[in-house]
Amino acid sequence: MTVSIVGTGYVGLTTGALLAAAGNKVYCIDVDSKKIETIKKGRSHFYEPWLDKLISEAIKSKKLIPTTRYRDAIPQSEIAIICVGTPSKGDGSVDLSYIYSAGTSIQKYMIDDLVIVQKSTVPVGTGRRLERILKNGAGNKKFHVVSCPEFLAEGSAVFDTLNMDRVVVGGDSEMAKQKIIRLLKSIDEFSKKIDTKKFTKYSKIYKNKIVFHNETPFKDRILSVGLESAELIKVTANAFLTTKISFANSIARICDQTGADILEVMEGVGRDERIGKSFLYAGLGWGGGCFPKDTAGLIYHADEVGFDFKILKAVVDLNNSQVLYVLRKIHRILGADLEGKKITVLGLSFKPGTSDVRISPSIRLVNNLVRKSATVSVYDPKALQEAKADIDGSVYYAKGIADALKKTDLAILATDWPELVDLDFKKLKRVFKKPNLLDARNKWDKEQVVKLGYKYFGVGR
């Protein structure tokens, strides 16, 4: 098939590169010419494991065509997939202007029976409004709006797209939905020709067990629903995942007061098949470009339809206080006055496997430490440059792990990159001023580091 993808962020570029790898002709449209020039050189403009190789191969094969011009892409395409940003406004509502702008631009050049796919995460009702906007200038041309939400996670976007656990398609036209299903099936068929196990590095961090869904027949993973249902499925899934994390953080606070270990507690809870182990982890809280926006948007939309979403509001409130909870732990370790104390924060991206620092709990922690006049050293394998714009005040951007830990009073694991979890603590101990470890992701081996002479502090353990 020939497809246009509007927006070259994590969703759009990953989807486009894999559709091209699967043999489709893909136009990637973005109004940012710098991003397009980077893609033309066979690279992504952000860090996502394995994506550069896919882009490079797709560019060489001429299956992936980056462009800033809708007129070069839309008239050639059977399907147009909207993957633009939907940022949060100050009041919690979602800014849909990029969605509607993309729709208007598509409308100018669309062919008859074009299938317009809404892949960006949006509030319920967005698809219907998009239909109305498109009808105003479509003339006699037919078009079909379909919602096909993405379920990939940054850091494991390639694996998640190759290994779709479900394919949700929502809309009124059965023909349009079947066309999308055939398109995505091409990725599933491609996944069976390669070794998908090599793409699981960062998926393992948050999933108790890696399931290879592509071993299940594709037809059994399809859920065909109404347009509104598809839109609500995605935001509901994200809201529920944030609820699991905040619930674990709540129980961790009880563990801190009672001597229970949050890892042992959640292991026991997660073995209940009705609950499951995924996302029952305590730490600094959740952030990124999706969870905060989607929870705020769902709360706002619920208020609009007359429902006070108290549970989700409590989830957000707990998460907003989690960094301050960890900050209080730092004071208990180093004292009330942090001035002159060197604190090393390891990890700045909101999660491992990505350079994305949007609403990163790690950066919130760094900024709080700077305001407390601590001497702060930071290190991240991929997100140092991206973090600089969001960090307030003066910090030391270390060149490596040992450099970051030099003469430190406290090392904090803020983002659980594998290379920051699997440290040579025996070798590194000599560079510490005081061997204090605050494991804000509960990933360091407590027993091992205590035997080596470190003082270990976790969240709920």
Q: Where are the alpha helices (DSSP H) in 62-167?
A: 70-73, 97-109, 126-135, 157-162
Question: Which amino acid is residue 392, in one-letter code?
Answer: D
83, 148, 255, 290: the active-site residue = 290
Can you name the residues that pair with 437 across neighbouring β-strands?
411, 456
Task: Say which DSSP state 375 is in.
Answer: E
CA distance 226 to 291: 24
- The angle subtended at Cα 151 by Cα 145 and Cα 152, nearest 5°, is 125
CB 64 within 8 A of CB 15: no
Closest CA to 14 of 41, 59, 52: 52
CB neighbours (10 Å) of residue 257? 8
**C-alpha separations of 298 from 92, 147, 167, 334 in Å:** 9, 17, 22, 40
CA 18 to chain centroid? 18
Cα dihedral 64, 66, 71, 75, rounded to 10, equals 10
At 324, which helix (H) or strand (E)?
helix 310-334
- Alpha-carbon Rg for the chain, nearest whole angstrom, is 23
Q: Is 148 a catalytic site residue?
A: no
Helix 262-270 × helix 227-258 angle, to 10°: 140
Tokens coding 341: 């104390």
Closest CA to 14 of 223, 115, 160, 194: 160
Tokens coding 324: 């301050």
Provide the edge-to-edge strand list for the sheet that holds 64-67: 64-67, 25-29, 2-6, 79-82, 114-118, 143-147, 167-170, 222-225
- Point out the residues that are catalytic: 290
